[in-house]
Amino acid sequence: MSFTENPVQWFEIPVRNIVASTKFYEELFSTKLQPQEMGPAKMAMFSFDGSKTGASGALVQSEGYQPSNTGSVVYFTVSNLDETLKRVPELGGKVVVPRTSIGEHGFIAHFEDKEGNRVALHTI
């Protein structure tokens, strides 16, 4: 099997408190997430522009969704890594990997959000 597009289409970040987590990510990324309910799942969706590359996703509060810092890691592209990373502890998160060079591919950093999910940032 081969992919007809980039392999990632959607991501979900598990949360226990959709309201507090939505506020954390809205303030961290200076954006607005869209609340949505799908059956018993409460969600907060990140924006999506089909004319741009990359995937979108949502925060999800639902049975069977457990925040974790040991599973898959989602990378968010940011224009200013240092400014975004600086806001993490101010919003109740924790930096776990500081700004790190990945050579010609730019810089990354990892943090734990308020729920304990390990999430990453990337910039060129």
- Domain holding 51: CATH number? 3.10.180.10
End-to-end CA distance of the chain: 31
Tell me the residue range of the domain where 100 lies.
10-123
- Residues whose CB falls within 8 Å of the CB of residue 77, separated by 6 or more in sequence, listed in order: 54, 121, 122, 123
Give the pLDDT confidence score for residue 58 in this predicted structure. 97
Instruction: Indicate whether 103 belongs to any domain.
Output: yes
Structurally, how many domains does the chain consist of?
1
Instruction: Indicate whether 5 belongs to any domain.
Output: no
Instruction: Indicate whether 3 belongs to any domain.
Output: no
Instruction: Indicate whether 75 belongs to any domain.
Output: yes
Contact between 107 and 100 under an 8 Å Cβ cutoff? The reply is: yes
Q: For residue 4, is pLDDT > 80? A: no
Q: For residue 116, is pLDDT > 60? A: yes
Q: Identify the helix (H) or strand (E) that includes residue 10.
A: strand 10-14
Instruction: Indicate whether 2 belongs to any domain.
Output: no
Instruction: Indicate whether 4 belongs to any domain.
Output: no
Q: For residue 18, is pLDDT > 80? A: yes
Quote the CA–CA distance of 88 and 15 in Å, as a whole number: 17
Contact between 58 and 76 under an 8 Å Cβ cutoff? The reply is: no
Instruction: Indicate whether 1 belongs to any domain.
Output: no
pLDDT confidence tier of residue 1, bands split at 50, 70 and 90: low
Instruction: Indicate whether 55 belongs to any domain.
Output: yes
pTM attached to this predicted model: 0.91
